Amino acid sequence: MTRPLLFTPLHLRDVTFANRITVSPMCQYSAVEGFANDWHLVHLGAFAKGGFAAVMTEAAAVQADGRITHGDIGLWSDAHAEALRPAIDFVRANGALAGIQLAHAGRKASMQRPWRGNGPIGAADNALGDIAWQVKAPSAVPVADGWLMPQEMTPGEIAQLVDDFAAAARRADALGCEFIELHSGHGYLLQSFLSPLSNKRTDAYGGDRRGRSRALLEVTEAVRAAWPEGKPLFVRISSVDGAEGGWEIEDSIELAKDLKALGVDVIDCSSGGNMGASKVSAGVPLPPGFQLPYAEAIRKGADIATQGVGLILDGPQAEAALQAGQADLVAIGRQALFDPFWPRHQAYDMGVNAFDDWPEQYGWWLNRREKSIQAIKAKG
């Protein structure tokens, strides 16, 4: 039987992804003062054991005020990098590539942890020790009514942001990470520069699409210079704002061309979030693979590798997307929370490597149990 494309390697620069399945960044809201801890070790380590080719951390803030919540991890100092080292080392030691998503939350910083309301920090959160801080954005435009009013960033603050993204990339390299992703989606800082709904500037960082792209392009150029030539660079974007007068797929295709020229290897294609929570976070019912058409359009329109994400639920669905040329990689998020061994279970169901490539601590036993399982199935 022909091996499914989902379980074939992908080569990006000097790095080989053992299969086409990655873990999407998922904030855990469990850090203290930006420092990762044992929760992150166990959370990320489970995916490495589960057969994902690459495991990416949650959004790691490049500045302290760039965290989404008080529970987010950071990478704005060497001490924060060292706190993350046990998780990165474990992921790599157990067969997966380790990646870090670098981010700044912008006007969506200083938020509640989702289970406390998923909105801006308020008095009830203050009583629990979570104190609001001043948020920054391209323009003084809040996310929505009732949200914190951001302070417009100065050109000097943008220059510092560029430097801090590059410094975080160097820390990720020192940790041994094989790839990084810049977060320019979901209404966070870099994406809020892109969208005309949130960027009302009249200087070089505003105006037309090229001006609104400038902050992201400057960050990308600085990170690519700080990041080893042989290691791939991803950028996550909101492919569309999904709102009238906002960022459209045609904008994303042109942006992807610009990013490719700067040395970006993969566009991670999400959507929405600029004017509030993303559709998935907001609990809006959506069809499986609802964002794959964006990944396909950008892949074909900009001639660049893409990563598809969004309600990819099983192996056959992922395989069909890859075979149709919609994406080169698929990122599994909440389905990975439901099943940290998703790649191995899908491989089993699709007739690939029953237990031979599992961690030997598991595979040795499961291989021997399999004869009994098949005998039971044969009896009906």
pLDDT of residue 70: 97
Contact status, residue 106 vs residue 135, Cβ threshold 8 Å = yes
Q: How many CA atoms lie within 13 A of 13 on its CB side?
A: 16
Buried b (16+ CB within 10 A) or exposed e, 290-316: bbbebbbbbbeebebbbbbbbbbeebe
- Residue 271 to residue 274: CA distance in whole angstroms: 9
Annotated active-site residue in 188, 205, 294, 348: 188
- Residue 31 to residue 39: CA distance in whole angstroms: 8
Range(s) of the domain holding residue 100: 5-349
Give me the CATH number covering residue 125: 3.20.20.70
Q: Classify residue 368: in a domain, yes or no.
A: no
pLDDT of residue 285: 83
Q: Classify residue 141: in a domain, yes or no.
A: yes
Q: Is position 188 annotated as part of the catalytic site? A: yes
Q: Classify residue 354: in a domain, yes or no.
A: no
Q: Say which residues have a Cβ less than 8 Å from residue 39's Cβ, sequence separation at least 6.
A: 28, 30
How many domains, the chain? Answer: 1
Q: Classify residue 378: in a domain, yes or no.
A: no
Q: Classify residue 343: in a domain, yes or no.
A: yes
Q: Classify residue 359: in a domain, yes or no.
A: no
Q: What is the pLDDT along the chain (380 residues), one digit of tens a residue?
A: 689 999 999 999 999 999 999 999 999 999 999 999 999 999 999 999 999 999 999 999 999 999 999 999 999 999 999 999 999 999 999 999 999 999 999 999 999 999 999 899 988 898 889 999 999 999 999 999 999 999 999 999 999 999 999 999 999 999 999 999 999 999 999 999 999 999 999 999 999 999 999 999 999 999 999 999 999 999 999 999 999 999 999 999 999 999 999 999 999 999 999 987 655 555 678 999 999 999 999 999 999 999 999 999 999 999 999 999 999 999 999 999 999 999 999 999 999 977 988 999 999 999 999 889 889 989 87
pLDDT of residue 279: 57
Q: Classify residue 14: in a domain, yes or no.
A: yes
